[in-house]
Each structure stands twice: as C-alpha cells, then as structure tokens.
Amino acid sequence: MVEVLVEATTRVLLKDGYEACTTNRVAEVAGVSIGSVYQYFPDKESLVLAVMERHQEQLQAAMVVRLSELANADLATAVHEMLGAMLEAQRLQPRLHRVLLEQVPRIGALRRLHELNGQYAPLVEAWLETHRDQLGITNPSVAAWVLIGAVEGVLARVLMEKPGWLELGLLQEHLTRLVLSYLQPNVRRSKR
C-alpha cells in the first residue's frame, strides 16, 4: 500500500506538477480511498518526502553498481567514472528529479533533499582522505563539501536548462576537469 501510494504520488507529480498534487488526487490515482492515505502517511509532505527518498535510493543504487568496478582504478579514471555514474543516474528519471528540484517547496522537503545529497559527503571525504597523497588538498572535509556543492549546482542547471546535455559526453568531460583540476591544481595532466 505504501508502495502504491508513493508510486501514485510520483505519477501525479510527473503528470500534473506539485501544485496539482493534492492528497485526494493521489488517492484517486492510487485507486485508494483518501482515508487510506492518512493511514500510512501523517500528512501531505511526508508523501512527497517518501517520493524523494525512493528516488534518491534509486539514484544511489544505480551509482553503486556503476562504481563497484572502480575499486582500484587510477585517480583520473575514478573521478571520470564517478561523474559519469552521477550523470547517468540523473537520466533515470530526469523529469521527476526536475519537478522535485523546481517545484517542491523547500521548507522541510527540499531541506531533506539536500540532506540526502549530504550523505555523499562522508563518502567523498573518506575517499579524498584515502588518496590524500596524490592530491593537493589540505582540508578534505571542506574540499568534499565544496565539490559536492559544485557538482550539484552544475547538475541542477543541466536538468533545468539543458536536459538534452545529459545524453552528451560533453558534460562529463567538463565536470571531470572541474573536479580533477581542483583536486590536483599543480599537476600537469595529460588531456583526457
């Protein structure tokens, strides 16, 4: 039932946008009574939150698969592949991602979205720590934080303004360069 409701909410969000995503509409699309919605979700916001979380889980799952192979790739390859994985993940449900990003009122909900993105921070930080010797950074914690913000910012822009670019390799190159040269500013690198 929870699944049915989250599914229905996603569908409504996609088809009609956040404004038109009323609890009654969700119940209708789910083929369930409105009462049942409140049996499983305390309020409207939690419905949307659940959609976000499920979406985020899917993104992560998609990335994990892609990244598991990178165990001992070199730095440049690792970054390149990781960003590729992120871009690919965006392609899973770009329209949903965009609606979530654009239309959902942030208080509460978007906050949560950022928290979800924040989950990456420790992972990235740990990774930076591990490769510290190859990197020109002094504060892995801040570096991770800055990188996540920067990549998130570019991804958000793509989604909102140039969704078509998700299909191109273009962005992956640029992001790789952004990240790599930030991490190794003094290193002369061969062009990828």
Distance, in Å, from the CA atom of 76 to the CA atom of 58, rounded to the nearest integer, reads 26
**DSSP string across 126-171:** HHHHHTGGGS--S-HHHHHHHHHHHHHHHHHHHHHH-GGGGGSSHH
| Interface positions, 19-58, toward DNA (CB under 7 A) | 19-25, 32-40, 43-44
Task: Judge whether 18 and 103 are in contact, CB under 8 Å.
Answer: yes
Sole binder of a second copy in the list 91, 157, 167, 169 (CB under 8 A): 157
102 binds a second copy (CB under 8 A): yes
For a second copy, the closer CB: 61 or 184: 184
| Nearest to DNA of 22, 139 (CB atom) | 22
What secondary structure letter does DSSP report for 42?
S
- Site map for a second copy, 108-147, x if CB under 8 A? --xx--x---x-----------------------xx-xx-
Binding a second copy by CB under 8 A: which of 17, 57, 64, 123? 17
Radius of gyration of the chain (CA): 19
Which stretches of the chain bind DNA, using CB under 7 A? 1, 19-25, 32-40, 43-44
